[in-house]
Amino acid sequence: MKYRELLSGFSLSNSLVLKNRIVMAPMTRCFSDDDLAPTGDMAKYYAGRAGAGLIITEATLIDPQGQGYPHTPGIYSRKQIDAWKKVTAAVHDNGGHIFCQLWHTGRMAHSSYTGSQPVAPSDIGLEGPLPRAPGLHYEVPRALDREEIAELVELYARAASHAIEAGFDGVEIHAANGYLIDQFLHQQTNQRSDEYGADAENRSRFALQVVDAVAAVTRPHRTAIRLSPQAYVNLEYTEGDEATFDVLLQALNERLLAYVHVASFDADLSYEYLGGRPVDYVRRRYKGTVVGCGGFSPEAAESALADWQMNLVAFGRSFIANPDLVGKIRSGASLAAYEESLLGALV
């Protein structure tokens, strides 16, 4: 078999065995309805990709105040939970497994969606235009107080409970790509002097509180986290940021999570302060299951798995262009190329 590693089964836990090591990466599509509930077309979209060993949903809002893009789904209302039940049922009926990615955009939220000022670790805004919203620009956020941080931890836990109720096999906490949790992890966006800032242990505190609160609801083997230690999008690296991720990953080693997912647009990019590629940095520090992503071809994914650089490989745009990606890999068929025009509809 050409793709022996890629197409082999993998045990995330004793109770969750994946049929292959291909993961569908989370991809924001902006196709939920006006109440931010998944639609029938979204159920068909995910079910059509159930050949993946694991599907990770598009980022899903834990609270309406976390919205920074149009028509991104939530999992905080009854309508949303019931709509997600149809998605998970469709995926399970097609033999797949699916995790819900839990999301709050933090300083990248916008009052045009939320009706209020964005919140973040510190009152440091991101400059530039809002994605997918012509004419809108980012706003300066309000720094969260301790009580609000505790409330956000509970909101993540509540969303995780809703995800399990909706039939998800687990949840992935979105702590990457410059969104709320990632904002706590980096010095540029976290200039607090209290127990949530000032040093590596404190900057990792919120992320770990969220992990623990979510795992208490879902159990650790159904809880995962996505990280981007390289600060490659929506915020900037500050010397010493890697110390925070050293602390965080060491703490995650003690928690027996389903996996750590390393976010990247290009997995081959290296960063001097990480000693190479982000996935290698995480692999050296985290003893559990590691998911890599970032433009892998099937051939590159097979090699990465064979060399034990990661345990699972996530494909994003390839899954947009090829709903039957796994079948094509298995048969050796040519893959359709991804094009921007494909973003205009769910297929």
Tokens encoding 278: 């982000």
Query: b/e string for 225-243 if b means 16 or more Cβ within 10 A?
Result: bbbbbbbbebbebeeebbe
Q: Residue 82: helix, strand or coil by DSSP?
A: helix
Euclidean distance between CA atoms 230 and 227, whole angstroms: 9
Neighbour count for residue 208 (Cβ, 10 Å): 18
Separation of alpha carbons 168 and 91, rounded Å: 10
Q: Return the axis-axis angle of helices 78-93 and 40-47, rounded to nearest 10°.
A: 30
Rounded distance, CA 144 to CA 333, Å? 51
Phi, psi angles (nearest 5°) of residue 61: -70, 135
Other residues' Cβ atoms within 10 Å of the Cβ of residue 72: 22
Structure tokens given for 2:
């050409």
Catalytic residues: 179
SS3 content of the chain, % helix, strand, coil (to 5): 35, 15, 45
Q: Helix, strand or coil for residue 72?
A: coil
Q: For residue 335, what is the DSSP state?
A: P
Among candidates 119, 217, 85, 222, which has minimal Cα distance to 160? 217
Q: Return the sign of the alpha-carbon dihedral for residues 44, 48, 53, 58.
A: negative
Compute the distance between CA of residue 311 and CA of residue 95 in angstroms, rounded to an integer: 21
Residues 242 and 282: beta-carbon distance below 8 Å: no
Spatial contact of 132 and 30, defined as CB atoms under 8 Å apart: yes
